[in-house]
Amino acid sequence: MQSIISFVSDFGLEDTWVGVCHAVIHRACPQAYVVDLGHQIPPFDIRKGAAIAAAGVYQLPEAIHLVVVDPGVGGGRADLCIICEQGTRLVGPDNGVLLPAAWRGGGIRQAIRIDPGKIDFRGPLATFHARDVLAPAAAALACGVDPHALGVEVDPNELVAAPFGRCECEAGHVVGEVLEADRFGSLRFNIPAEDLESLGLAGERLEVTLGHNTLVVPLATTFADVSEGEAVALVDSSGWLTLAVNFGDAADRFGVEAGTKVRVRRA
């Protein structure tokens, strides 16, 4: 059976790092198939990496997700393998980048601190755990190795916190934040698609307040459900509630950025 490894990083494509990780995985587990979900995350941007990884789990829950946005590499933080309640497996550093992906996988069933000595008898290069620890660990999982063979189980409550929290209900609103803007300027909120009904947001129109802007927009299926230049709320491929402008840039129009507080309710 072929295993998919979904690979997210802030490595870019100008250097050798992505290719070398591919080679390490292929050498250790030739039947694994690596999907490059995204490597253009801004350097050190754990928030963006976490949002992209969570979107990856939403779209590829059966895959092994290798997530490397790791500004603390070599500085004592742990390398992790997380097994989600729904079976999704995550591999990456203990800096919060994996936790939103774990939420999308139903929560953490088990967290394992990877022991580099279980991967290779040589010590890892301090600046490249992606090559020497994380990619080999993902390859081992793809080849059927029991996650517990990679290290020791740790308390999920002791992991480093996620770079953003979950949305909450407050005074008739769902309160969250802007996770990121995609390349088209659409604004993704930390409001999961699967929770819209339980949060009371399923309906035809939403009132959205972000920054100094309050607007009423249709909750539509696609961008083309509104005229060119009009704002629309929808669930995009990431699985997050998203505010977009058809043939436009919502981030630019409304002047908001990642971390901006958002309040949403049915109009």
Torsion sign, CA atoms 251, 255, 261, 262: negative
Predicted pLDDT of residue 210: 93
In sequence order, what are the beta bridge partners of 215?
208
Q: For the segment 7-33, what is each residue's pLDDT rounded down to a tens digit?
A: 999 999 999 999 999 999 999 999 999
Classify domain 168-266 at the CATH class level. mainly beta
Q: How confident is the model at residue 122 (pLDDT cuts 50, 70, 90)?
A: low
User: Are 243 and 187 in contact, with CB atoms under 8 Å apart?
Assistant: yes
| Of 240, 218, 236, nearest in space to 227 by CA | 218
Dist CA 60 CA 62 (whole Å)? 5
> In the chain, what percentage of residues exceed pLDDT 70?
97
Residue 1, pLDDT > 90, answer no
pLDDT of 129 above 60: yes
User: With bands split at pLDDT 50, 70 and 90, how would you rate the model's confidence at 2?
Assistant: low
Residue type, 47: R
Task: Specify the DSSP element, H or E, that contains 63.
Answer: none
**Which CATH number is correct for 4-158, 3.40.50.10790, 3.40.718.10, 3.20.20.70, 3.40.50.2300?**
3.40.50.10790
pTM of the model: 0.92
Alpha-carbon gap, residue 242 to 186, rounded angstroms:
7
pLDDT higher at 39 or 203: 39
Total number of residues shown for the chain: 267
Element (H, E) at 110: strand 108-114
Q: With the C-alpha atoms ordered 87, 91, 93, 95, is the resulting torsion angle positive or negative?
A: negative
- What does the pLDDT read at residue 121? 54
- Of 237, 185, 178, the C-alpha closest to 208 is 178
Task: Kindly indicate the confidence band of residue 119, based on its pLDDT and cuts at 50, 70 and 90.
Answer: confident
Rounded CA-CA distance 54/248 in Å is 25
- Over 80: is that where the pLDDT of 125 sits? no
Q: What is the predicted pLDDT for the residue at 242? A: 97
What confidence score (pLDDT) does residue 75 get?
Answer: 83
Residue ranges per domain, the chain?
4-158, 168-266
Summarize the confidence of residues 30-58 as an average pLDDT: 95
Q: Per residue in 224-263, pLDDT tens?
A: 999 999 999 999 989 999 999 999 999 999 999 899 999 9
Contacts 24+ apart (CB under 8 A), 245-248: 245/185, 245/186, 247/223, 248/185
Q: What is the mean predicted confidence (pLDDT) over 73-98? A: 94
* 236: Cα separation from own chain's centroid: 14
